[in-house]
């Protein structure tokens, strides 16, 4: 399908979903923001309600809740926050290879309970076409629970999602992806609140220096920095500041990954 055909399919499907109240699992990222925007547009034609519900968890970067709130207000959706501590309920402390499946199952079961209280008829989340072709064990949980993925259903790639979001005036159309902090640790490495807090603080600091994609991958006492390859010269200009910050956080060795930023780089040896 062409981009225009995918866009038409997506908008038509939203009108079908809008025959009842809708709930969007809303993170504040571009994927779920586009779904929320389209849902609000469709609901305006059918007279139904749209809820953008953010699952505020221990595994996601700080500061995301307020950003998501602002985005939801701009879109015109009702925004709610569901506080969840998946480290206590999802059996993922040892960071198993199927962590994402266990975590998504736990999170979305909580979301389904919330949706039932609100009386919604459709629940949606932001998986796109590109996500279907990489290691995403959490997708199995989403399918098992009957959550709809409109972007993937329409075949919309990440680039097309950003394009459509820009066309519709979604303010976060160019926002970088912010996956859960557990992805910064090798599988089998025990994760803790403190370990994730340090990673988050380190990434926030590096990002504040002007970098777009930033990942701080942790291998025991080694911090491996990933940024886009074209930004590496800029990274070296700030090496003293970065080393000082990361050592202050407790990392003994600070390295730069010469392959640059790679989404899912901890999944290299995982059987897909």
Q: Where are the domains of the chain?
A: 3-167, 181-267
User: CA-CA distance, 119 to 146, in Å (whole number)?
Assistant: 16
63, pLDDT greater than 80: no
Listed residue (225, 232, 228) closest to 249, CA to CA: 225
Q: How distant is the alpha carbon of residue 124 from its chain centre? A: 14
CB 38 within 8 A of CB 8: no
pLDDT at 70 over 60: yes
The CATH class of 181-267 is: alpha beta
Within 8 A by CB and 6+ apart from 125, the residues are 24, 25, 32, 35, 108, 142, 147, 148, 149
pLDDT of residue 133: 86
Residue 12, pLDDT > 60, answer: yes
H-run or E-run covering 155: none
pLDDT of residue 177: 87
Question: In the beta sheet, which residues pair with residue 253?
Answer: 222
The reported pLDDT for the residue numbered 64 is 85
Using an 8 Å Cβ cutoff, are 24 and 120 in contact?
A: no
Q: Across residues 142-154, what is the average pLDDT?
A: 96
pLDDT at site 128: 96
**pLDDT higher than threshold 70 for residue 121:** yes
pLDDT for 266 equals 78
Phi, psi of 12 (to 5 degrees): -65, -40
Q: Please report the pLDDT score of residue 119 as a whole number.
A: 97
pLDDT of residue 272: 53
Looking at per-residue confidence, does 50 or 87 come out higher?
50
How confident is the model at residue 147, as a pLDDT? 97
User: Which pLDDT band, with edges at 50, 70 and 90, does 264 fall under?
Assistant: confident
pLDDT band for 174, please (50, 70, 90 cuts).
very high
pLDDT category of residue 20 using cuts at 50, 70 and 90: very high
User: What fold does the segment set 3-167 form as a domain?
Assistant: Rossmann fold (3.40.50)
Between CA 204 and CA 184 the distance in angstroms is 14
What is the 3 state secondary structure string of 29-95? Answer: CHHHHHHHHHHHHHHHHHCCCEEEEEEECCCCCCCHHHHHHHHHHHHCCEEEEEECCHHHHCCCCCC
Residue for token pair 């590096």: 206
Say which residue, 87 or 19, is predicted with more confidence: 19
**What are the backbone dihedrals phi and psi of residue 167, each rounded to the nearest 5 degrees, phi first?**
-60, -35
Asked whether the beta carbons of 174 and 162 are under 8 A apart, the reply is yes
- Mean pLDDT check: name the lowest of 58-72, 106-120, 252-266: 58-72
- Grade residue 265 by pLDDT with cuts at 50, 70 and 90: confident
- The contacts found for 233-240 with CB under 8 angstroms, 24 or more apart, are 234/209, 234/210, 235/211, 238/209
Q: How far apart are CA 179 and CA 138, in angstroms?
A: 12
Give me the pLDDT at residue 189, please. Answer: 93
Rounded to whole angstroms, the Cα distance separating 184 from 223 reads 10
If you ran DSSP here, which 8-state letter would residue 230 be given?
G
Burial class (CB in 10 A: 0-12, 13-18, 19+), 146: exposed
pTM for this predicted structure: 0.90
271 falls in which pLDDT band (50, 70, 90)?
Answer: low
């Amino acid at each position: 399908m062409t981009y225009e055909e995918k866009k038409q399919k997506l908008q038509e499907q939203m009108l079908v979903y809008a025959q009842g109240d809708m709930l969007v699992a809303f993170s504040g990222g571009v994927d779920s923001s586009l779904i929320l925007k389209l849902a609000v547009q469709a609901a305006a034609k059918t007279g139904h309600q749209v809820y953008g519900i953010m699952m505020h968890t221990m595994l996601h970067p700080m500061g995301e809740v307020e950003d998501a709130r602002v985005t939801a207000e701009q879109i015109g959706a009702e925004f709610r926050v569901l506080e969840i501590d998946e480290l206590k309920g999802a059996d993922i402390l040892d960071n198993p290879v199927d962590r994402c499946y266990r975590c998504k199952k736990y999170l979305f079961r909580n979301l389904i309970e919330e949706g039932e209280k609100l009386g919604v008829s459709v629940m949606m989340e932001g998986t796109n076409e590109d996500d279907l072709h990489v290691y995403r064990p959490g997708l199995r949980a989403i399918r098992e629970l009957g959550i709809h993925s409109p972007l993937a259903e329409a075949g919309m790639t990440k680039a097309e999602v950003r394009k459509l979001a820009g066309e519709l005036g979604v303010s976060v159309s160019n926002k970088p992806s912010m996956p859960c902090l557990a992805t910064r640790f090798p599988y089998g490495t025990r994760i803790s609140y403190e370990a994730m807090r340090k990673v988050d603080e380190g990434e926030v600091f590096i990002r504040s220096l002007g970098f777009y994609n930033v990942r701080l991958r942790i291998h025991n006492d080694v911090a491996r920095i990933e940024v886009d390859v074209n930004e590496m010269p800029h990274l070296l200009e700030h090496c003293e500041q970065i080393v000082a910050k990361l050592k202050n956080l407790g990392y003994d060795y600070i390295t730069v990954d010469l392959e640059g930023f790679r989404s899912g780089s901890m999944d290299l040896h995982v059987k897909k």
